[in-house]
Amino acid sequence: MHTLLVTGPGGAGRTTVAAATAIAAARAGHRVLVLSGDPGNPLAALVGEATGESAEVAPGLTAAPAGEVLVARVDSGEEFREELVALQERGSALLGMVGARPMGAEELTELPGAEQFALLRALRRAAAAPGIDLVVVDMPPLHQTLATLALPAQLRRYLARLLPAERQAARALRPVLAQLAGVPMPAQWLYEAAARWDEELAAVQAVVEADTTSLRLVAEPGPGADAALRTGLLGIALQQLPVEAVVANRMLPQGSPDPWLAGLVAQQEKYLAQWAGKTPLLPLGHLGRDPRGPEELGQLPGAEKLVPRAVGTSAAPAARRAWTVEDRRAEDGVLVWVVPLPGAHKRDLDLVRRGDELLFAAGPYRRIVSLPSALRRCTVSGAALVDGELRVRFTPDPGLWPRRP
């Protein structure tokens, strides 16, 4: 199974491309599941209304047939209510001890950010659906998508720092203290909850980082999309997410006698040429109006090329760019950590080391990563941006680095 996350700058036509990709793959003989959390259900107008009853396609995930594909919708409000009610039930003894009164499901309204967690949970469940060849996920706009995909790793790091398992003090005394107090000890309950959260987050992170998961970006060639795409690609590189292709959406036909339309075509071609070579490009033509229904989706010029080449094969959709460590001790006395950041400018970047971690800042994006073991015994001695690569130099610490014989 392959998972394709479709995103792009706001207003670029992400939902249309997600639906067109799903329809094209289904017509090529693949079983396709479309996942969306977009309010208002805009997918229904594109892939068609449900033609059958919803059924469970994976534990905790239901989908309904809609034309040629299966569609699963994420109800973040329902997810939020179920999770909070379950959390109250697990901590009922503690809540009773402090005099708290539990809330009923009917009085709960979801908080900001709940939709991100619901989407990630649905993504994990969809990746476990048997018999599916391709999962197409209609993601939020690009910046929000990157923040969502970074959540599992970030939250796991926060849990490890705030509730480290190795510092669960007096674990052996907790059962005795619980009997004396008559209620479960808060620390025990808290660590058990943290362990469950970490397990859930690890499963989601595994799907995000799987070789069978990749991004497809949607952009309408123009100056606004060019700036948004450059910034977005920088964040994607920082998160080491593979880009399967960029869909150049709403491409206008060439050869128009109208000077105004010819000018728009020339502008699109200009930006298309600038994007060429960075990532694979998939031009998708304009119908002159927004497509309505699966038949019109199939009529989009270039729609037949939207089927990911890796679907139905054992090949990975796109390669992840590794961050390699170059040993240059013999030549320069340093080790170099090479971080690919294509399109970055020096003004976009910042580095801060804290213990065995390095904070990377690239434009509006941040990522904290653990240093490879060899670099933990070194000090940061400089960095340079060379041909789209951030090359961070590390000098071995004589007090920690073993001497050569």
Burial category of 347 from C-beta neighbours within 10 Å (exposed 0-12, middle 13-18, buried 19 and up): exposed
Band (pLDDT 50/70/90 cuts) for residue 245 is very high
Position with higher pLDDT, 357 vs 114: 357
Q: Tell me: the pLDDT tens digits for 196-226?
A: 778 888 999 999 999 889 999 999 999 999 9
Instruction: Report if residue 275 sits inside a domain.
Output: yes
Q: What is the CATH number of the domain that holds 330?
A: 2.60.40.790
**CA gap 135, 207 in Å, rounded:** 12
Lowest-confidence segment of 132-141, 165-174, 344-353, 386-395 by average pLDDT: 165-174
Judge if 197 and 234 occupy the same domain: yes
Going by pLDDT thresholds of 50, 70 and 90, the confidence category of residue 78 is low
- Confidence band (pLDDT; 50, 70, 90) for 170? very low
**pLDDT per residue as tens digits for the range 337-376:** 999 998 899 998 999 999 899 999 998 999 999 999 999 9
Examine the domain organization and report whether 329 and 302 are in the same domain. Answer: no
Q: By mean pLDDT, which of 100-109, 138-147, 268-277 is the weakest?
A: 100-109
Residue 193: inside a domain: yes
Q: Identify the three-state secondary structure at position 248.
A: strand
**pTM for the complete prediction?**
0.86
Kindly state the average pLDDT of the residues 29-56.
85
In a domain, 214, yes or no: yes
Contact 88, 101 (CB under 8 A): no
Mean pLDDT of 178-207: 70
Domain housing 354: 324-396
Task: Look at residues 224, 260, 261, 238 and name the one whose alpha carbon lies nearest to residue 154.
Answer: 238
In a domain, 311, yes or no: no
262 and 380 in one domain? no
Q: Among 58-67, 90-99, 258-267, 332-341, which is the least confidently predicted range?
A: 90-99
φ, ψ at 103 (rounded to 5°) = -100, 145
Q: How many domains does the chain have?
A: 2
128 with 253, same domain: the answer is: yes
